[in-house]
Amino acid sequence: MSHIEKLVAGFKQFRSHNYEEHRALFERLAKQGQSPKTIVVGCCDSRVDPAIVTNCDPGDLFIIRNVANLVPPYEISGNYHGTSAALEFGVCNLEVENIIVLGHAQCGGVRALMNWAPGSEPQDGFISGWMKIARNARNRVLSRMQGEPIAAQALACELEAIKVSLDNLLTFPWILERVAQKKLALHGWYFDMGRGELLRYNPDSNRFEAFS
């Protein structure tokens, strides 16, 4: 069986089991549209599906996925802005109440960022250009962990990159306004797939802590 055939077979199983079991939910979503309460900015990594990790139903999450779950700073140049457009729709149109930046262990984008040679950032390619969003995270890690194993540096950078994205969210005026009005809350989460652990960022302690 090819992988495409496997996917088609999977859909047929979904259609006969999951869909039928939750038919009323799907019919309601089809008629009424979506009204999720939470945006999740997650990574493209095939191992980390936000809906699976949080055991959510269809319609619960508005999910934005990109390389290394990064949020770029607000800017309105003439370039394409997929992540920013999705944030605008989720916040301004759907009026979500939460935004979660969901990082994860063993992130390939962050590992590539940490492997950059000192003082020589790559100039070509979409991935290297995108990962420059997290340069400050990389710099913070290198300033305090110079000489430590790359695995330790990458783990630290995965966490720092979440904090960079949280800061960048507040550069969007319509996000900052809603946060100030307490209509919108921002969250930084980190999923360790090897350990099956979910951590959350505590801005008061500036640490990632396990959910109690």
C-alpha 94/C-alpha 170 separation (Å) is: 18
Inter-residue contact 134 to 161 (CB < 8 Å) = yes
C-alpha 1/C-alpha 21 separation (Å) is: 27
The number of domains in the chain is 2
Tens digits of residue pLDDT in 104-126: 999 999 999 998 866 667 777 89
Q: What angle do CA 71, 74, 80 make, to 5 degrees?
A: 80
Do 68 and 11 share a domain, yes or no? no
Return the pLDDT at 119. 66
CA distances from 191 to 1, 96, 211 (A): 32, 22, 11
pTM comes to 0.94
Tens digits of residue pLDDT in 15-65: 999 999 999 999 999 999 999 999 999 999 999 999 999 999 999 999 999
List strand residue ranges (DSSP E) for 145-211, in order.
185-192, 197-202, 207-210
Do 186 and 125 share a domain, yes or no? yes
Inter-residue contact 207 to 163 (CB < 8 Å) = no
Do 10 and 81 share a domain, yes or no? no
Do 120 and 187 share a domain, yes or no? yes
Do 104 and 173 share a domain, yes or no? yes
Quote the domain boundaries for residue 178.
34-210
Do 49 and 9 share a domain, yes or no? no
Do 21 and 40 share a domain, yes or no? no
